[in-house]
Structure 1
Amino acid sequence: MENTTRTPLPMATTGCACCAPTPDTTSAAGQEVAGAAGTPAGASTYRVEGMTCGHCVASVMEEVSALDGVTAVDVDLVANGVTTVTATGPVSSNTVRSAIKEAGYTPTD
């Protein structure tokens, strides 16, 4: 067996909204992305900053998936960048934004 050095996975940073909330009220996070490429019919995509780990993704997916009318949720995580959350189904954008807030994020218009 080879003796190799393993690099540990990075831990959640203080900017992780699910592990250590640090709301940023000055950013444009949480804005709906109109006509995002590859978005299925009946889907809306939202921009969210501050998601850094799988736990962040799971928190948002759990809240948005629980909404009446949501048939699918897709999260494209960009750690320390702008993550996109796509909700498919007949649900209002205000309802999705509220669910994102419930998960620990503050979407802005």
Structure 2
Amino acid sequence: MCGTETRTELLLAAPEQCGCGCCSTGARTTTPPAARGPVYSLEGLTCGHCVQTVEKAVACVDGVESATVELVAGGTSRLAVAGTASADTVRAAVTGAGYSFTPGQ
């Protein structure tokens, strides 16, 4: 660029301050599911994208006011649903998104 340097160096956030659990090495805090409404146990979620996929799918169900997932990567995550939607319609939304309820739910 004509011999002049006009670039500004940008500071990058430390990995522990950003990214999902599968992309960063630091501890990540999660928001627990909402206290009201039924809570379901889910399997197959591994990162923040999985959480968003499930929350969006369940939020589109008639009767759902909110859907919040507490991620346990590689383990049993929890889905809290506020509203009047039935467990069967919530299950259909979760399985339609590619994830599954734990046995017994």
With the shorter chain as reference, the TM-score category is 0.5 to 0.7
1:47 paired with 2:59, answer no
Q: Kindly state the Cα deviation for residue 81 of structure 1 after the two structures are TM-superposed.
A: 1.1
The whole-number CA distance in structure 1 between the counterparts of 2:86 and 2:63 is 9
The whole-number CA distance in structure 1 between the counterparts of 2:52 and 2:64 is 16
Q: Describe how 1:53-72 pairs up with structure 2 within 5 A.
A: 53-72=47-66
Aligned match of 2:100: 106
**Is the alpha carbon distance of 1:90 and 1:55 closer, same or farther for their aligned partners in structure 2, counting shifts above 3 Å?**
same
TM-score, normalised with respect to structure 2: 0.64
Q: Kindly state the Cα deviation for residue 39 of structure 1 after the two structures are TM-superposed.
A: 2.7
Aligned match of 1:77: 71
SS in 2 for 1:71: strand
> Which stretches of structure 1, 4 residues or more, deviate above 6 A after TM superposition?
6-9
Gaps of 5+ in 1: 1-5, 12-37
Which structure has the greater CA radius of gyration? 2
SS in 2 for 1:94: helix
Residue identity (%)? 37
TM-score, normalised with respect to structure 1: 0.62
8 A contact 2:67–2:79 mirrored in 1: yes
1:89 paired with 2:83, answer yes
Alignment root-mean-square deviation, CA: 2.7
Q: Kindly state the Cα deviation for residue 10 of structure 1 after the two structures are TM-superposed.
A: 3.5
8 A contact 2:44–2:100 mirrored in 1: no
Aligned match of 2:22: 10
